[in-house]
Structure 1
Amino acid sequence: MRFTASLSPIEGPMIHHVIKVPEEVAAGFRINKGAIRVLCSIEGKEEFPCALNPRDGEYVIMASKQLISKHRLKNNETFSVSIRPDLNDGLELPEEFLEVLNQDEWGSQLFDALLPRLKRSLLYYIRSAKSVDTRIKRSFQILEKIKTQSLHSQKNQNP
């Protein structure tokens, strides 16, 4: 689905801008309560995973500083947005990480056991690297941290 939007400032400690999703667009995706994982494209550029988040009776897409900068978004300027369902729930594996997992069955099992939100964060970190070499390096580092339970979120879990 495609719609026209603009950047909207909000008050908050971590997120300062959102992209408001028209009700008729959000209604086409809403199945149950909570965030809805989608693939988003701004001005027809490369898709990225994101979520339609409920906020004050409407749905919004959180706009990070990186997203705003990358797409040169400005307050009160309209731009086109297209969204479609994310069948992988934001968990599409970068090919570099997939190859690392294919070489380590135990590491792959440990990764599969992580919560989806943690997996999404780790995959985003790997995908955000610009070079293949950095994505490979991050893939090995992440898997090693999973195996040694040295991820920050793992330190707070009971085995």
Structure 2
Amino acid sequence: MIKFKTTIGQLDYLNMKYLEVPKEVVDEFGTLKIRLVCTVNNSLNFQCGLMALGEGKAYISINAKRMKELGVKLGDEVHVALKKDDSKYGMDVPEELAELLKQDYEGKLRFDKLTPAMQRYIIYHVSGVKSPNLRLDRAIMLIENLKKSVEGKETFRFLLGKD
């Protein structure tokens, strides 16, 4: 586990708040292509990845909901602890999607062939609603569209039914 202090910054061109990860921390992990578990102020844990910030530094995005949970605002200093995420997908799979993939052999085969980023996109999109019924509806829509897509040419837009 690597611990450091940082301040909450803002990337204006993305209208996004972030936690800056110093070059020394990035160097310790040896790559930006890593999934991590981030703990902020010893109280909030979430799964994340590193994005290049320039000059060897990186950033982790932090949304308004998490900032509110922490009681912090732009410019505040926070304590961060990072450790490698050893979970299969780099995030928790909603129960509804996991059950669908158990029952839909073709859907599971296609899901397993996706890039890790595309798999996380599906997981994230299904997780994005509170209602179990809506999570199941989203899971079914995404997996059905995945099965209709050309293997190796899947796009987010097609999975969402927008192509």
Question: Common fold, TM-score beyond 0.5?
Answer: yes
Q: List, as ranges, runs of 4+ consecutive aligned residues in structure 1 with deviation greater than 6 Å.
A: none
Q: Deviations over 1:83-139 (max 9, x none)?
A: 211123525422221111000100101111122211111111122322333322322
**Partners of 1:19 and 1:63 within 8 A in 2:** yes
Letter of the 2:97 partner, please give it: F
Matching residue of 1:114: 114
Please state if 1:7 is matched with 2:12. Answer: no
Distance 2:42 2:128 in 1: 19
Q: Deviations over 1:11-44 (max 9, x none)?
A: 42x35332111333333212x4x44221223233
Task: Give unpaired runs (5+ residues) of structure 1.
Answer: none
Matching residue of 1:16: 16
Matching residue of 2:157: 152
Partner of 2:140: helix, strand, or coil? Answer: helix
Distance 1:141 1:69 in 2: 32
TM-score by length of 2: 0.76
**Partners of 1:96 and 1:136 within 8 A in 2:** yes
Partner of 1:28: helix, strand, or coil? Answer: helix
**Partners of 1:5 and 1:81 within 8 A in 2:** yes
Percent same amino acid among aligned pairs?
24
Task: Give unpaired runs (5+ residues) of structure 2.
Answer: 150-154
**Partners of 2:37 and 2:85 within 8 A in 1:** yes
TM-score by length of 1: 0.77
**Aligned CA-pair RMSD:** 2.6
